[in-house]
Amino acid sequence: GAVVSQHPSWVICKSGTSVKIECRSLDFQATTMFWYRQFPKQSLMLMATSNEGSKATYEQGVEKDKFLINHASLTLSTLTVTSAHPEDSSFYICSAYEGLLKQYFGPGTRLTVL
Amino acid sequence: DAKTTQPNSMESNEEEPVHLPCNHSTISGTDYIHWYRQLPSQGPEYVIHGLTSNVNNRMASLAIAEDRKSSTLILHRATLRDAAVYYCILTQGAQKLVFGQGTRLTINP
């Protein structure tokens, strides 16, 4: 099956700093990628839909100035958490739409903000 | 997106079949039924999807009720590696997946 990678797999940062997370589709081109956030013992929450070459579409309640998404190529989307605070600590997961009604998910990035 | 209802948890024994139910009484005619699963500390994994007819693949089978208001994911012979949270999701494409709470499946050795 198709493979999606994320980097880094985990990151610890100080409050007020920015963190960038990369999501790559390794063996297919993805016109659409998605970003999710998951808090402990909760389900995934869709944050935004990222289309190559255009602005991301954010879900209601997600601050677009805080969570910057860039989808510069058909295989790479990035999520930057700006001015991170402890409440932003979470498991961030991306997915890529491969077509044929399937999404492939990355392994996730665990962000801890001190 | 139409809502689905799943049991919070289920338990089964290794090497036995597992039937995971999903109710979706408000499903529309163009909604696909998708199943994904999430192993601990990993991203979700595609399992299967269907529209009207039953579907089989190497991982599982999907049985869809004739009125489409419910479906069942069937794992034919559970292994310990099948222990995960299973999500039943309706969507008119795969372009936007809205995850509910899912069913936490425990497999006993």
Q: pLDDT tens across A11-62, in order?
A: 999 999 999 999 999 998 988 999 999 999 999 999 999 988 888 999 999 9
Q: CA distances (Å), A53 to each of A6, A33, A50, A56, in order? A: 20, 12, 9, 9
Chain A partners of B32 at a C-beta cutoff of 8 Å? 101
| A61 touches B: beta carbon within 8 Å | no
Given pLDDT bands bounded at 50, 70 and 90, which one contains residue B96? confident
Distance, CA of A70 to CA of B37 (rounded, Å): 27
Q: Write the single-letter amino acid at A98.
A: E
pLDDT at position B105, please?
A: 98
E-state strands within chain B? 9-13, 18-23, 32-38, 45-50, 55-56, 61-64, 70-75, 84-91, 103-108
A43/B93 Cβ within 8 A: no
Q: What tokens were used for B107?
A: 């497999």
Backbone angles phi, psi at B88, to 5 degrees: -105, 125
Question: In the predicted model, is pLDDT for residue B94 greater than 70?
Answer: no
Q: Which of B41, B46, B99 sits opposite A104 (nearest CB)?
A: B46
Distance from CA of A100 to the nearest CA of B (A): 8
A108/B43 Cβ within 8 A: yes
pLDDT at position B95, please?
A: 75
pLDDT at position B2, please?
A: 64
Distance from CA of B23 to the nearest CA of A (A): 18
pLDDT at position B104, please?
A: 97
Q: Which of B99, B101, B103, B104 to mutate to test the interface with A (most CBs of A within 10 A)?
A: B99
Q: Which of B108, B84, B105 is nearest to B7 (CA)?
A: B105
Mean pLDDT of A3-16: 96
Q: What tokens were used for B98?
A: 């809205």
Backbone angles phi, psi at A48, to 5 degrees: -165, 160
- pLDDT, tens digit (0-9, with 9 covering 90-100), for B21-79: 999 999 998 899 999 999 999 999 999 999 999 999 999 999 999 999 999 999 999 99
- Cβ-contact A110, A9 below 8 angstroms: yes
Chain B partners of A32 at a C-beta cutoff of 8 Å? 95
Q: What tokens were used for B3?
A: 């809502």
Q: What tokens were used for B67?
A: 């009125």
pLDDT at position A52, please?
A: 84
- Cβ-contact A38, A90 below 8 angstroms: yes
Distance, CA of B51 to CA of A48 (rounded, Å): 26
User: Count of alpha carbons within 13 Å of A32, Cβ hemisphere only?
Assistant: 16
B44/A43 Cβ within 8 A: no
Q: Write the single-letter amino acid at A101.
A: L
| B42 touches A: beta carbon within 8 Å | yes
- pLDDT, tens digit (0-9, with 9 covering 90-100), for A67-99: 999 988 889 999 999 999 999 999 999 999 877
Q: Which of B23, B1, B21, B5 is nearest to B93 (CA)?
A: B1
Distance from CA of A14 to the nearest CA of B (A): 23
Distance from CA of B103 to the nearest CA of A (A): 11
pLDDT above 90: percentage of residues in chain A = 79
Chain A partners of B59 at a C-beta cutoff of 8 Å? none
